[in-house]
Amino acid sequence: MAIDKVESFGRSLIQHGHANDRVYLMKLDKANVPEILGHINELADRHGYSKIFAKVPASEGELFVQDGYRIEATVPNFYNGREDAFFMARYYRPDRLLDLTLDRVQAVIKKACEKKSTAQDRDVCQDFECRLATSLDCLQMSELYRQVFASYPFPIGDPEYLCKTMSENVIYAGIWQNNKLLALSSAEVEKMMANAEMTDFATHPDNRGRGLAGVLLQNLEKLVAEAGIKTCFTIARATSFGMNITFARNGYVFAGTLTNNTQISGSLESMNVWFKQV
């Protein structure tokens, strides 16, 4: 499946394409307001996308609301520990707003919030190795991602892409046993804005249910906190009991649901936003 393209508008960053059938305003530079509104709307119109998804500083939110956007999630103190972020959406077709998995999504949120507690440090077995990944691991990492995800919003099944992001702003952590990669995750770090997205969690099917994602999450949190990050967040598959419970147990707060937002393994899925101040 084709991968959506990422391009710049001034110092803002946009992803768009038919894989996710959307425009995604990944990073908004306030200097590009209001011109960027017309640009992303025009992209959606020209290509026939059914949704625009935008991460927007709260101070710019009203302008987007006036243009037909709605707030689907709010993360406090997202920008430099001071300004909130609105995760906003504009829909171009009624069917994109219709979530056929709504009952399960609500059940997942309820169950995750019931499990919410202060997580204790977890240790893997003595013959497991939890460490940061390096460029030498990228081929093995890409193989695990291809095994776990039939398709994904970003080309994480490509070792060259993993090496490129590793050299930029993404930290990858993995768990190995006898040199075999069992589980993997990443933190996409925005140092200038003091936030990090905890993402790309994948566990080999033979090793699920062992709490490996929680171990990786705790290790990544420590690393980004040491780097000056103030807010961690995730955009998790809304129908996944395991991932939502993992974040809730680690002290993350539910922020909202993004309806039919992301294409994973061949279909559009709603996503839950969780955040934590570190």
Q: What is the CATH number of the domain that holds 27?
A: 3.40.630.30
- What is the count of structural domains for the chain? 2
Asked if 80 and 117 sit in the same domain, the reply is: no
State whether 106 and 85 are in the same domain.
Answer: no
Amino acid at position 49, single letter? Y
Residue 121 predicted with pLDDT over 90:
no
Range of the domain at 50: 5-97
- Position 151 scores a pLDDT of 85
Can you tell me the distance from the alpha carbon of 194 to that of 196, in angstroms, rounded to the nearest whole number?
7
Task: Specify whether 145 is located in the same domain as 265.
Answer: yes
**For residue 24, is pLDDT > 90?**
yes
pLDDT tens figures, 143-164: 999 999 988 888 999 999 999 9
Q: Which amino acid is at 153?
A: P
Whether residues 22 and 57 share a domain: the answer is yes
Domain ends where: 36, 70, 97?
A: 97
Q: What does the pLDDT average to over 49-74?
A: 98
Rounded average pLDDT over 241-248: 96
Report the residue count for the chain: 278
Question: Per the structure block, which two tokens stand in for 254?
Answer: 């539910």
Residues 193 and 92 in one domain: no
**Chosen domain end from 35, 70, 97:** 97
Q: In which band, very low, low, confident or very high, does the pLDDT at 3 lie, cut at 50, 70 and 90?
A: confident
- One domain, residues 63 and 194: no
Pick from 42, 73, 97: which residue ends a domain? 97
Tell whether 12 and 121 lie within a shared domain. no
pLDDT of residue 5: 94
Residue 122 predicted with pLDDT over 70: no
137 lies in the same domain as 264: yes
% of the chain with per-residue pLDDT over 70:
96
Residues 76 and 126 in one domain: no
* Residues 37 and 126 reside in one and the same domain: no
Residues 131 and 83 in one domain: no
User: Is residue 108 located within the same domain as residue 89?
Assistant: no
Pick from 110, 44, 54, 39: nearest CA to 85: 54
Asked if pLDDT for residue 194 goes beyond 70, the answer is: yes
Tell me which DSSP letter residue 154 carries.
Answer: S
Which residues 6+ apart lie within 8 Å of 42 measured at CB? none
Tell me which of 17-21, 107-111, 115-119, 264-268 is least confident.
Answer: 115-119
252-263, pLDDT tens digit by residue? 999 999 999 999
| Residue-level pLDDT at 120 | 59
